Amino acid sequence: MATEAETVSKAISEKYVSAKPTDLNRVAANFLGGSVYYVEFKKPGIDPNDAFCYVFVTKTGSVETYDDGENLVMAMKAKLDARRNLLQRLNEFSLAEMIGAVIALVVTGAFVFLSLSQGALNQDFVGIFSLIAGYYFGKNIGSGT
């Protein structure tokens, strides 16, 4: 079985044809079920300042390469986000945001229930629903979430 270093060297050679790794540094071990490496390599036609990448090797031996640190960070963030459960995600919201969400959901549920059961709705209720839903959902769109 190949070592991680050999696996990383092979991945670099496959992604960057005719590239030869010159410096291989493990940045993080046992991180999200694998290791992260910073690799510098030589390849004809590539500026030496641009001849580097990051490689993530899982414990199963699969390899992911990233051309820059930003892509690596985004990929690791996505892996971390996928591991969070519902309670951890809910803890990110403040009490005011949770109360607003509950109010918006209750009013929306009431609106749907009344629409299905009565057919025609009281215009006062439609105005209240529009105000609450517009405020809550409009506020979330404006904040980027």
Question: Which whole-number Å values give the CA distances from 53 to 25, 32, 36, 89, in the listed order?
Answer: 11, 19, 11, 32
pTM given for the model? 0.59
Q: Which tokens is 22 given?
A: 């010159």
Two structure tokens written together for 62:
């699969």
Domain boundaries, the chain: 4-83, 87-142
Note the pLDDT of residue 101: 81
In the block, residue with structure tokens 């979330």: 140
Using alpha carbons, list the distances in angstroms from residue 102 to 79, 110, 118, 132, 136.
Answer: 29, 12, 24, 11, 10
Please give the Cα distance from 37 to 24 (Å, whole number).
7
Query: Tell me, what's the pLDDT at 59?
Result: 85
Per-residue pLDDT of the chain (145 residues; tens, 9 = 90+): 678 888 888 888 888 888 888 888 898 888 888 899 999 988 888 888 888 999 999 888 889 999 888 999 999 898 888 888 888 888 888 888 888 888 888 888 888 888 888 777 778 888 888 888 788 777 755 555 5
What is the number of helices (H) and of strands (E) in the chain? 5, 4
